[in-house]
Structure 1
Amino acid sequence: MKFVPALALAAVALFTQPAMARPLQCAPYAREHSAIDLHGNAATWWGQAEGTYARGKTPMTGSVLVFKATGAMPVGHVAVVSKIVDERHVVLNHANWSRPGMIEKSAMAEDVSANGDWSSVRVWYAPTQSLGLRTSPTFGFIYAPGAAAADQKPGLPSDTFQAAFAQLPSQG
């Protein structure tokens, strides 16, 4: 029965795994890279912000875009607006979108809502190197304390969107 100790060692090795660090999630990333100090699942941020932070439907640099929970995103998602391109396009910095734990900077997001209110967006998806095919519903934007109304103006005219999009770094 010399194979029993070897079998026992194999079983221990199979069930004993080194501690693995969890991939970075979107909420801790957004909290660390914005002036919004909220906790918990991303989809709860919108309700938590009420009475503490200003909220709205217009993107502002430094604001946090809050995604609703869906079947594909059961706890929602949050992303920090780093640049406003035009009325329908912003650049986001976020984590855990294209793959678990991946940090993406300069990820384009497009407002595809019928009313231009950012209630539905498409976001850059690294595996396809394009805006994702799936539309994602959002609550809107949570604004940093003291955010100025002037920040709401687009950073570039609409006709320069294609040039700005072409200059974004590859997300890989």
Structure 2
Amino acid sequence: MMSRPGFLPVLASALVLTLASPPAQAQEPLLQCVPYARQVSGIQIYGDAHSWWQQAAGRYERGRRPVPGAVMAFKPHGAMQLGHVAAVSRIIDSRRVLLDHANWSPINGRKGQIERDVLAEDVSAANDWSEVRVWYTPIGGLGTTRYPVHGFIYPQGRAPSRLQTPPVQIAANDQRPRALSGAERKAQRQAERRAEKDARKQLKQVEKQRREYAKYLKKQQDARRETVRLTPPPPPPPHLQPDPIGDLIGKIGG
């Protein structure tokens, strides 16, 4: 199929911009923390993360005690102006839990990635989980920033008052917390499949663009070589061109 005139140069310019962009922007769909927390917890709250705490009032129980499946609601802090939400996957002890969340650490230079079972530590003076430090993958440890936290939003039926055993005792006995429901597991699998499908689609598009751009560069290079081959050499400058009369005058001395 013939390309429209001017199509390849326009495509080349667009691809140069695309390929010069950071990989997170060019190749991967960015998964925000809110839809991921909603999918893994089953808490049906929408809007920016910083609004979840207020939206949960009167709809879901809230508290200061971490529970597997609850959502930790972060307050806006520094560059994190929209707040953050993360689902508690396991209780380790009274000061440490594991989180499942998205769009926290850049992984391999890409934002919007999912992290599972990462450490969060309560650093509040009263052990009320009002301040935490969270695992940051680029440094391989807990960051130094102390993030303020509203508290925990509990899914239906998972409030601390309805637990049969304390979370710390569950961890001490090395028992797993209550398994996710069938609907929650289904939502989690669907989210993972969608993320993988989107990532594969984006990768295929980028690879296609790379191949087309490589073909365009090769055609440009071949065209330049052909132009050089067919173009006669330029004439020498005037002072180097043959001048028989001048040479004769020089020999006979005028």
Q: Shorter chain as normaliser: what TM range?
A: 0.7 to 0.9
Which one has the bigger helix percentage? 2
Match of 1:57 among 49, 60, 64: 64
1: CA distance, partners of 2:135 / 2:147: 12
- Give the alignment's TM-score, normalised by structure 1: 0.80
Q: Distance in 2 between matches of 1:156 and 1:21?
A: 36
Equivalent-residue separation in structure 1 for 2:146 and 2:37 (angstroms): 21
Runs of 4+ in 1 over 2 A off after TM superposition: 8-22, 148-153
C-alpha distance in structure 2 between counterparts of 1:52 and 1:35, whole Å:
13
* Aligned residue identity for 1:141: F
Are 2:83 and 1:72 equivalent residues in the alignment?
A: no
Tell me the CA shift for residue 11 of structure 1: 4.9
**Count of residues paired in the alignment:** 153
TM-score (norm. length: structure 2)? 0.55
1:137 is matched with: 148
Cα contact 1:65–1:138 (8 A) shared by 2:
yes
Q: Structure 1: which 5+ residue stretches go unaligned?
A: 161-172
1:25/1:95 contact within 8 Å kept: yes
Cα contact 1:68–1:76 (8 A) shared by 2: yes
**CA distance in structure 2 between the partners assigned to 1:10 and 1:151 by the alignment:** 67
Deviations 1:34-78 (A, max 9, x none): 121111111110011000000000000100000011222111110
2:136 aligned residue: 125
The verdict on how the C-alpha distance between 1:137 and 1:27 changes in structure 2, with shifts beyond 3 A counting, is: same
Query: Structure 1 residues 13-22 or 65-74, which shifts more?
Result: 13-22
Name which of 85, 88, 96 aligns with 2:103.
96
* Fraction of identical pairs, as percent: 48
Whole-angstrom CA distance in 2 between matches of 1:107 and 1:10:
46
Deviations 1:93-146 (A, max 9, x none): 000111211110110100001111101000111111111111111100000101
